[in-house]
Structure 1
Amino acid sequence: MPAAEFATSGHTFPPTQPGTPVMLNIRKILFPTDFSETSAQALAYALRLAHEYDAELHLLHVEVLYEEDPHNPTHRLPDREAILARLRTLIDDHDAAEHLPDGAVEDLTIRHVHRRNVSAAPAIVEYAAEEGINLIVLGTHGRRGLRRLLLGSVAEEVVRTAPCPVFTVRRHKEDRKPEPVRHILVPVDFSEHAREALTVARELAARYGAALQLLHVLEEVLHPAFYNFGATSIKDLQPDIEEKATEALMKFFRETAGADAEVTYHVIEGHAGRDIATFAEEHDSDLIVISTHGLGGLEHLLMGSVTEKVIRRAPCPVLVLKAFQRSIVASGEG
């Protein structure tokens, strides 16, 4: 069933009180690459972010051991210098820097790093922890269903285990350059993790001159016991739920630190993992800023992750902020 947007949704309200600006601490950006088209599309975003925040950009290639048949001579592992040489030419040989001002790439501090590991994701996470990386930018194939279960996802493992926020760029069939950020979508579940996501989104909105889209999803599933009373939706039990949710979103915005920004409030009924991405597509969102609660182990296997579902489906980049991990919200000077 498609998500139904309530009549109170989509109204624009100016901030009811001045925001409290904060600074974002993005000094080191890690861009892992496997030289695929997927990572090439993400490179443009890594370059733009490094330029905008005057950040040091780390280009990392992880050579995955035992991934190929060692007895096949065509699968011999390249030597370290060959990999480093390829990393050095990655930007020069790709048109990812075309959207930046002249000389912007030359002004960046870029490190080229080659690591070996039995798996890519742990190597990426270990390097991020060792170097105090503030943000990881990486591409994702956006696989779903059986293929994802069989192949897994490096991006999703990095999102679950990274010590810092992760900026994911889903692969598209056509080559896309980074679009201007005009609309930033922030899913809100009213947790403190969502509050930090909103703070970051407010700062990004101020930087880009963008409008915020605050979205709360009312889960549509009801316990079967309610069916005997004719209730098939949460609206049947609480008819004014959309108005109350909109008021709660407005209060949440007012009480959250961050720069002033134009904001619209949206309340829909549906499934968060599916309908956040659908909303982004239907409302021309250019970036999704979302927090993850950091589920792990059996709980993650049984419940999945709303954030991971959004990453796989989103039509635009997704900035994932990690619960209990390194924040990009600066805490004081320096």
Structure 2
Amino acid sequence: MYDSILFPTDGSEPAGSVLEYAVDVASEHGATLHVLSVADASREDVGRAGEEAMDAPRLAAQEIVDDAASRAREGGVSVVSAVREGDPSAAIVEYGDASGVELVVMPTHGRHGLKRFLLGSVTERVINTADVPVVAVNPDRERPLRYPPANVLVPTDGSAGAERALSEAIAVTRATGATLHLLHVVETGRLGPDARAVLDEAALTERADEIVAGAVEAARAESLDAVESAVEFGVPSKEIRRYSEANAIDLAVLGTQGETDFSRYVMGGVSAKIVRTSPVPVMWVR
């Protein structure tokens, strides 16, 4: 399914903890793993004068990529290593485009730590600009990572973005033999605990059932038999997390347009909350 996978690394502990997962994904699909490190000359610690100082970022990046590539080869996968210079997010996307990678796997945060957690981070920019799916892995997770997945979750709102996510998830489940879980959350959290009494619950449930039924039909049309579906009421990010934990979900797949558009991040959108709290890797399909 994926023949070429990109793993960008900055040599940080978070990135190192996600490398093994990237190797597992590449191994499962028989893919070549591209290990990339970007020499970011904009960093404050390399703003010194002198040729030696100017070379320091690239030398450091080369050391980082050599170490990660060596570890990846120990996992038995084919590896291509590369170093680029410039803005990290732009360099990652440009390298991916030029190398024909079909999937990017990277941590939600790296060297700059939790203070830059997604807000303006490299991962956010890659998610927003890459033409291929991006799997964001939270290095601070409590659950162990698992690939191939046994259970794949698609939270769906019936939008075009959700449809694209569903298509990608169907391909993943077919390739790995996983069970596909389809979930729609009727958002009532902002209206308080009595929201279902205030709103027309019958109409909400009917619409939710239609959305889920359409997703199930699309999955069945692709000859998937292991399909589970559910409708929940509440705060979407919380319900998605709760469902993931209750059903041993190994991978969630979301679209970045529609009601789960990543552009809503600065307004506290569903997508950002899911990434912040997800106990499992999240694949973003733009």
Instruction: Quickly name the TM-score band, shorter chain normalised.
Output: 0.7 to 0.9
| Deviation per residue, 1:252-281 (Å, 9 max, x gap) | 321355341312221112222343233312
Q: CA deviation at 1:200?
A: 2.2
Please state which structure has a larger fraction of its residues in helix: 2
The answer to whether 1:233 aligns with 2:233 is: no
Q: Which runs of 5 or more residues in structure 2 are unaligned?
A: none
- The answer as to whether partners of 1:188 and 1:194 remain within 8 angstroms in 2 is yes
Residue 116 of structure 1 is aligned with which of 58, 68, 85?
A: 85
2:122 aligns with: 154
Superposition map of 1:76-155 within 5 A: 76=53, 77-78=55-56, 80=58, 83-92=61-70, 94=71, 104-105=76-77, 108=78, 110-117=79-86, 119-141=87-109, 147-148=115-116, 152-155=120-123
* Counterpart mapping for 1:187-206 below 5 A: 187-206=155-174
Which of 45, 63, 67 is equivalent to 2:39?
63
- Name the amino acid aligned to 1:87: V
Decide which of 226, 233, 255 is 1:291's aligned counterpart. Answer: 255
In the alignment, the residues of structure 2 paired with residue 177 and residue 301 of structure 1 have an alpha-carbon distance, to the nearest angstrom, of 25
TM-score, normalising length: structure 1: 0.70
| Cα distance change of structure 1 residues 71 and 148 upon mapping to structure 2, 3 Å threshold | closer
Partner of 1:252: 215
- Aligned counterparts of 1:87 and 1:211: Cα–Cα separation in 2: 35
Pair 1:180–1:66, CA change in 2 (3 A): closer
Contact 1:32–1:137 (8 Å) recurs in 2: yes
What whole-Å deviation, never above 9, does each CA across 1:84-119 have from its counterpart, x for those lacking one? Answer: 354233243x4x677x5xxx33xx1x22111111x3
**How many Å apart are 1:291 and its aligned residue?**
0.8
Asked if the contact 1:199/1:258 (under 8 Å) is kept, the reply is no
Residue type of the alignment partner of 2:166: L
Tell me if the contact between 1:187 and 1:215 (Cα under 8 Å) persists in the aligned partners: yes
| 1:57-104 Cα distance to aligned partner (Å, 9 max, x none) | 21110111131333499x945364664354233243x4x677x5xxx3
Q: Which sections of structure 1, spanning at least 5 residues, go unmatched?
A: 1-23, 323-334
CA distance in 2, matches of 1:248, 1:174: 32
C-alpha contact (below 8 Å) 1:183/1:211 kept by paired residues = yes
Higher relative contact order (CA 8 A, sep 6+): 1
Distance 1:171 1:85 in 2: 22
Opposite residue 174 of structure 2, the aligned amino acid is A
Structure 2 residue aligned with 1:218: 186
Contact 2:109 2:118 in 1 (8 A): no
Residues 172, 72 of structure 1: alpha-carbon distance in 2 compared, 3 angstrom cutoff: farther
User: What is the CA deviation profile of residues 256-315 of structure 1, one whole-angstrom value per residue up to 9, with x for unaligned ones?
Assistant: 5534131222111222234323331233211101111189xxx64653442232122111
| Other structure's SS at 2:131 match | coil
Bigger shift: residues 59-68 or 235-244: 235-244
1:78 aligned counterpart, secondary structure: helix
2:226 paired residue number: 262
Q: In structure 2, how many angstroms separate the alpha carbons of the residues matched to 1:179 and 1:255?
A: 24
Query: In structure 2, how many angstroms separate the alpha carbons of the residues matched to 1:301 and 1:247?
Result: 27
Q: Structure 2: how far apart are the matches of 1:172 and 1:318?
A: 14
Cα deviation, residue 28, structure 1: 2.0
1:320 partnered with 2:255: no
Matched pairs, number: 275
2:29 aligns with one of 53, 56, 67: 53
Inter-CA distance 136–281: structure 2 relative to 1 (3 Å threshold): same
- 1:235 and 1:284, CA in 2 relative to 1: closer, same or farther beyond 3 A? farther
1:55 is displaced (CA, Å) by 2.3
Q: 1:208: Cα distance to partner?
A: 2.6
**Structure 1 counterpart of 2:88, one-letter code:** A
CA gap of 1:80–1:291, structure 2 versus 1, over 3 A, is same
